[in-house]
Amino acid sequence: MSDSKAQLARLEINGRKCEFPVLTGSEGEQSVDIRRLRKETGLTTFDPGFVNTASCQSAITYLDGEKGILRYRGYPVEELIKICNFIDVAYLLIHGVLPNEQVRNDFARLLNRHSMIHESMRTFFDHFPENAHPMAILSAMVVSLSSFYPEMESDQEGVDMAATRLLSKIRTIAAFSYKKSIGEPVVQPSYKLSYCENFLNMMFASPVANYKLDPVVVRALDQLLILHADHEQNCSTSAVRLIGSSGANLYASVSAGICALWGPAHGGANQGVIQMLERLQAEGGDAKKIIDRAKDPNANFRLMGFGHRVYKTYDPRARIAKQLCEEVLGKLGINEPLLDLAMKLEQAALSDEYFIERNLYPNVDFYTGIIFRAMGIPTDMFTVMFAIGRLPGWIANWLEWMSDPAQKIGRPRQLYVGPKKQKVPPRKQGGF
């Protein structure tokens, strides 16, 4: 980032003129530095949703919503997904560089070594209700890790180990929560299997049924996790940074991120899309009628999976997910009516002026649920899959915040619109 003395933003309020520097990022993005605004003018900015506010400087992910660009540490996501696996990308996000073969193998072995959860934690699963949502279990179990592994706060080596433990154990916790929900015994991780192979085996193997790992499914899972690995300062990542700004440890901060991701307007959208497609298919699946209904302001219907807060063009992740969806279902020999409906809806929407004028293109959630469904992942686990993929980005952002000397505890201002000072009326004494 550069602080260009030649570029200044000028503000005039009540006859007083103030100047604020314009900061320029490495990709040419510019931001007005208003850190002195309140001190010099007594004013704050009003920006609901922080859509015009850069809350931090970050070297992790670059996103251009107008051009449809997404890069992790400078690498285009469409190139990473072709060449790398999820372990490569997780290491890249957390450590800042792509690992060579030796480093990757060492990292993979370290992840396997720490993939088991503490035996005492297994009793926690027994006390969740049978119908507990996997995201509720995941967030509770992640924050509890700080009780079993408190040494992370001692030094940098401890923090690095905490990040590794969390990245490894989250898949075990997720798989155990699924086994709990269906009343089956848990399957322990194996040192013989890769990161994604281990997760799938823990999910679907059982004492009475042999689960054969399909390389098509394993590779697809790798790619889906890469797609979700980071996405700049989204709601859940901002939550991780905000909680971390109080000095909270990594486990607590990530648990907050999981809770934020759970919302239907964020990570929960992938579950909402598949449920919507199932419902629309049952109603006849007429794409034109569905599009007309989505445009009707009185219909109380929203076409989920379209539009994005940042992207004003086709979500680059959605392009990859669509292609991956066709490849996976084709290789597995699955005829999926929901994919046919999804593609008809996309075609109808992209040729409709209503959607074109509003930049409503498919986002990453529109196709990923169909792929998870083809893998055998239950619908209520879709957002958990998102969380596993997003974890490296959360960790990277937490670590970056902790090492940034410019950061302070998050404390947004507000514009108060409540009643003015009031006098408390007399009250009779007594009562409980």
Q: How far apart are the first and last CA of the chain?
A: 60
Assess whether 365 carries a catalytic annotation. yes
How many Cβ atoms sit within 10 Å of the Cβ of residue 297?
5
Cα(348)–Cα(222) distance, integer angstroms: 31
Cα(138)–Cα(383) distance, integer angstroms: 11
Assess whether 118 carries a catalytic annotation. no
Q: What is the 3-state secondary structure (H, E, C) of the chain?
A: CEEEEEEEEEEEECCEEEEEEEEECCCCCEEECCCCHHHHHCCCCCCHHHCCCCCCCCCCEEEECCCCEEEECCEEHHHHHHHCCHHHHHHHHHHCCCCCHHHHHHHHHHHHHCCCCCHHHHHHHCCCCCCCCHHHHHHHHHHHHHHHCHHHHCCHHHHHHHHHHHHHHHHHHHHHHHHHHHCCCCCCCCCCCCHHHHHHHHHHCECCECCCCCHHHHHHHHHHHHHCCCCCCCHHHHHHHHHHCCCCCHHHHHHHHHHHHCCCCCCCHHHHHHHHHHHHHHCCCCHHHHHHHHHCCCCCCCCCCECCCCCCCCCHHHHHHHHHHHHHHHHHCCCCHHHHHHHHHHHHHHCCHHHHHCCCCECCHHHHHHHHHHHCCCHHHHHHHHHHHHHHHHHHHHHHHHCCCCCCCCCCCCCCCCCCCCCCCCCCCCCC
Query: Per the residue annotation, which of 231, 308, 352, 380 is the catalytic one?
Result: 308
CB of 263 closer than 8 Å to CB of 241: no
CB of 107 closer than 8 Å to CB of 99: yes
Query: Per the residue annotation, which of 64, 365, 380, 404 is the catalytic one?
Result: 365
Residues acting as catalytic residues: 308, 365
